[in-house]
Structure 1
Amino acid sequence: MKKWVSSTTERVPQHTCEKINKRIRACTVCRIHLLQDGSKEELTNRIQELDEEWDTERVLEANAGMLITTASLAGYMKRKCPCFLFTGVVGYCLLQHAVQGWCPSIPFLRRAGIRTAKEIQDEKTVMKLMRGDFMQGIGDPDEMLRMAEM
């Protein structure tokens, strides 16, 4: 049974069709296999690509911002335009996404292969592991956190 308020890291996958979640994971595993014997340079390049990849939250926020701005401008240009209703719907969708991890655009984003921040971070961690970043055995917590943030 799905909870009404989901955990932050799992809320989008919990509200995504299992078939799509599996496809996204399979694509990630495929990319990892392709770089399994890659050089440090290739792994570093992939890590940099992952740093620039937009996650579901960023895409959703950008789309909502664009829609709200467009509706606000339309409302300003036309005096009797009910554009405030549109901004209200967008706001409600953002609130629903914040609480539940679902809104009407999430299925489309997920079908397009847009991953969550955790899914991107998981691949990034595997790339760092393959690159050898975690083999130093450093005991200092501050240094370990700095390595995790690389």
Structure 2
Amino acid sequence: MESWNQTSSDAARTHAPSTVNRRIDAHVESCVRCMAERADRAEMSQYLDKLEREWEMHRAVAVGGSALALAGLLLGGRRGRQGWRVLSGVTLALLLQQGLTGFGPLSALVRTLGVRTRREIDLEKFAIKALRGDFERIPNDGGPLARANAALVAAQS
């Protein structure tokens, strides 16, 4: 399939290793191809509902980092070990960096776990919606691979 997700200006994609981006893109392509082959509108609607509930990278970083900082504070307690408080401080500094720059070590961690950006999730959603027939830009001729590729390109634009 042609390179459909190269124009992204997401900080997450820019800073993440290309192998991580390729793995995430391959997952999206595989899912869109599968939906194109099955051509089942009900299944596409169920899958779109699943995509609506998927956590995006910034949410995962915010929740994970906050939980880690809170755990450090709770475990440190009033007379607890200083190490737990240091963990909280470092985590909060990393969350601040994430908020200011859009990317940081916590983002790199969740990206390697396969967590996608909101834009990547939306691209897949729009491609599935195009396959489902919600838009007029996807031709009905050609095989499932051609339709999947057209849907991914249309979702990008």
Instruction: Calculate the TM-score normalised by the size of structure 1.
Output: 0.76
**Unaligned 5+ residue runs, structure 2?**
1-8, 137-157
Identity percentage over the alignment?
A: 26
Q: Please tell me the residue identity of whatever aligns with 1:17.
A: P
For the residues of structure 2 that align with 1:78 and 1:56, how far apart are their CA atoms? 35
**Match of residue 124 from structure 2:** 123
The answer to whether the 8 A contact 1:55-1:114 is kept is yes
Give the distance between the partners of 1:132 and 1:43, measured in 2 at CA. 10
Corresponding residue for residue 27 of structure 1:
27
CA contact (8 A) 2:57 2:115 kept: yes
User: Partner of 1:87 in structure 2?
Assistant: 88
CA distance in 2, matches of 1:68, 1:78: 17
Structure 1 vs Structure 2 CA RMSD: 1.8
Shift of 1:72: 1.4
Shift of the 30–81 alpha-carbon distance from structure 1 to 2, 3 Å rule, reads same
- Separation (CA, whole Å) in 1 of partners of 2:14 and 2:115: 15
Offset, 1:121: 0.7
- Unmatched 5+ residue regions in structure 1? 1-8, 136-150
Residues 1-150 of structure 1: pairs in structure 2 closer than 5 A: 10-37=10-37, 38-78=39-79, 81=82, 83-135=84-136
Q: TM-score, normalised on structure 2?
A: 0.73
Name the CA distance, whole Å, in 1 between partners of 2:82 and 2:76: 5
Instruction: Give deviations 1:22-55, integer Å, cap 9, x for gaps.
Output: 1211110111000014211011011011011111
